[in-house]
A and B are shown apart, each in its own frame.
Chain A
Amino acid sequence: MTPAVTTDPPVAVAADHGGREAARARTRALTSLVSRNGAVAVLVLVVLLGALLVPSFGSADNLRNVALAASFIGIIAAGMTFVIISGGIDLSVGSTYALAVILSAQFAQYGSFTAIAAALAACGLVGLVQGAIVSWLRLPPFIVTLAGLTGIRGLVFYITHEGNDHPLIQGFRVFETFGTGKLLTVGTPVWLMLVVFAVGWWVLNRTPFGQSVQAVGGNDSAAELMGLPVKRTTTIVYVVSGLCAGLAGILTTALSGGGQEARIGDSYELQAIAAVVIGGTLLAGGIGSMVGTLAGVLLLFVIQNLIVQGANLNSYVQQVVSGGFLLVVVIVQAVLSRRSGSAEA
């Protein structure tokens, strides 16, 4: 790799130089705009192309199903966006999600409110513990949440007697309408996902907490020197992620009526991280977008659906295409972000 030494020749004509600068700035702005909103653009493009080329894809029924399937990972990814913008990562969300699935089903016998409250409390607590370890003991989030992934999954297996219990919801419960209900023909999980993203966008961009999250992710020492509550912010971010995973789990139980396996949600953390990254949020922290994540999640599920509907490929090839798609997106993003002149060696 050649050292990044600037070898620009001395400026000969000032006006010419200015013109070149302006042109360069324009290209830079354009590429940065594309890389920041790329997921939305690609999503629109893929949906339009899909609707034109694959007749069964564009039907209202199919689109409703795609949105419903995407809503669970979507809610998890919303929480993950906060964690990643703060400069961390949460590998435990798949296990936390499973905890909520199992707990909400088990507690459904004591009423809907208890079921929702117990599951959310457990998931919030799990996030709180991990967040506290990350911020107060200053341990790397990757490791802490990796331990969370293992330990919480162990807890889920413990609760279900090594995965032998598949708790069912007995009789009709109010909270089942959250899962199975519909509003304007679209399932409630989809609406809840949109609400989560709307609230997430507002919190991230319009509240002091959101500003604090972005500052901590950009440079935590600087944020600390500015007097921002770095430790509290970092802790809350993991609580938010836990609660989002919990909500997704509750909705899954509500939709299915329970009876899920203890290993549900395996590798959901990877899908959520993929969605966040496709949405243009940098893993380095500091920069990210809720809209991008929403587009990223929808894109993942639209592509999967197109493969099934259009090409009629088997599930192995689907995996190849999803992984390949993720690779293409991140490579293009990396190349574009360097083109747009971010100062990194």
Chain B
Amino acid sequence: MTTADTTWRARLTDRAAVLTWVREHGVYIALLLLVVYNVVATANFTTVPTLQLLFSQLPPVIIVSLGMALVIGTGGVDLSVGTVMAIASAVLAKMVIAPGQGGFGAPIAVAILVAVLAGLLVGVFNGVVVAVARVQPIVATLGVLVAGRGVALVITGGALVELFVPFFKVIRLGKFLGIPYVMIVAAVLAVIVSFLVRRSAFGYRLLAIGGNRRASVLAGLPVKQTLITVYALSGTLAAVAGVIATARLRASDPSYIGLLMELSAITAVVVGGTALSGGRVRILGTVTGAVLIQLLETTLVSHNAPDSVARMVEALIIIAAVYVQRPTRRSR
């Protein structure tokens, strides 16, 4: 007890240590401040409907950000996630629509499985282009971003397709102890991904590749398999997010679902303290980053700030977050 006390006091008096601590935990401090501000200043913030609305908006961006964090940990980036959401949504629609109306009339469980598999497939494609053909991730996934939304639009014929699936109501409104199912799914996925990064050989390989790909190759690590797996995971997670987004919308709208999601996800990951240069992944930070950005928008909206101001504030937050967490000379 006393030793802990003295170390804490020593740390507090050491200015550099305090700065480092703030730098490491900036995103959590920011979220805490924002929550406190809301509790004090926003009317009806602590009511159940407000929180449930927030919780129902969060899962897609959190789930996509998890995959994005893995990809960014390898030093890459996946611009195709929004498009993958649209493809998953379109495939889901095609599967559940009755055979008479141009679909397959599959049971919802099969339909969701096939939709997620479609995302996995796109992810594997991304991974092969990046790992085997050695194309820069940003360009490879840019190609898929452009082509993929076209594919999604072709699958549904371009129009918004309304879907009448009873199970969607479960996804949309189902709760366990007052917590929406989708939020639980997001949390479980976050725990699994966090475990993968911190405790599994796959996680170590991923970080090694992000730290120094050449060294990883020379060390005999299975670089190609690891990279393909990472992009496959990103695609799969994006597809799960696409299914949830479709259920929330009660329709498949390939020209809208997942639009600009890649930017939100990259923002969440970066604000959460994962460096774009790779070699480091912070899952809890990523989730916190996603919550922070969403809560920021909610806060500004509930204080009647127009959307334009929200965007400008978001830009400042991004710069501030990266500035606070920039590598110091010592750690570089």
Contacts and interface: CB of A to CB of B under 8 A. Distances in A.
A30 interface: no
Contacts of B143: 274, 323-324, 326-327, 330
A270 B146 contact: yes
Interface string B309-332: 111101110110011001000000
A316 B150 contact: yes
Contact of A3 (B218, B224, B323): B218
Interface string B44-87: 00000000000000000000000000000000010000000000
Contacts of B134: 334-335, 338
B319 A144 contact: yes
A316 B153 contact: yes
A139 B322 contact: yes
A149 interface: yes
Contacts of B276: 140, 142-143
Nearest to B213: A345
Contacts of A333: 135
Contacts of A140: 276-277, 322
B263 A146 contact: yes
Contacts of A327: 129, 140, 143-144, 147
Contact of A330 (B139, B270, B309, B310): B139
A54 interface: no
Given A274-B142, A327-B129, A319 B149 contact: yes
B214 interface: yes
A1 B217 contact: yes
Contact of B150 (A157, A320, A345): A320
B146 A147 contact: no
B310 A154 contact: yes
Interface string B112-136: 0000000000000000010001111
B151 A133 contact: no
A326 B146 contact: yes
Interface in A1-43: 1, 3-4
Interface in A303-345: 314-324, 326-327, 330-331, 333-335, 338, 344-345
Contact of A151 (B133, B213, B316): B316
Given A155-B312, A158-B308, A317-B154, A139 B323 contact: yes
A133 B133 contact: no
Contacts of B310: 154
A320 B322 contact: no
Contacts of B229: none
A331 B217 contact: no
Nearest to A335: B133
A138 interface: yes
A150 B318 contact: yes
A146 B326 contact: no
Contact of B309 (A158, A314, A315, A334): A158
Contacts of A270: 142, 145-146
A152 B318 CA distance: 13
Interface string A257-286: 000000000000010011001000001100
A345 B307 contact: no
A318 B282 CA distance: 39
B274 to A, nearest CB: 11
B121 to A, nearest CB: 15
Contacts of A345: 213-214, 217-218
Contact of A154 (B142, B223, B309, B323): B309
A154 B315 contact: yes
A162 interface: yes
Contacts of B322: 139-140, 143-144
Contacts of A324: 143, 147
Contact of B139 (A151, A157, A158, A277): A277
Given A139-B326, A158-B306, A320-B150, A151 B312 contact: yes
Interface in B211-252: 213-214, 217-218, 220, 222-224
A56 B310 CA distance: 47
A187 interface: no
A297 B158 CA distance: 27
B266 interface: yes
Contacts of A158: 306, 308-309, 312
A217 interface: no
B210 interface: no
A186 to B, nearest CB: 29
B224 A320 contact: no
Nearest to B137: A283
Nearest to A133: B319
A148 interface: yes
Contact of A153 (B146, B151, B266, B311): B311
B89 interface: no
B267 interface: yes
16 contacts: A3-B217, A4-B218, A140-B322, A143-B270, A148-B315, A149-B263, A150-B315, A150-B318, A154-B315, A277-B139, A316-B150, A316-B154, A320-B147, A326-B147, A334-B133, A345-B218
Return the 8 tightest CB-CB contacts between A and B, nearest first: A323-B147, A151-B315, A154-B311, A319-B150, A323-B146, A157-B308, A320-B150, A316-B153
Given A144-B319, A147-B314, 20 more contacts: A139-B319, A139-B323, A143-B318, A150-B315, A156-B308, A158-B308, A158-B312, A273-B142, A274-B139, A274-B143, A319-B146, A320-B151, A323-B146, A326-B143, A326-B146, A326-B147, A327-B129, A327-B147, A334-B133, A334-B134
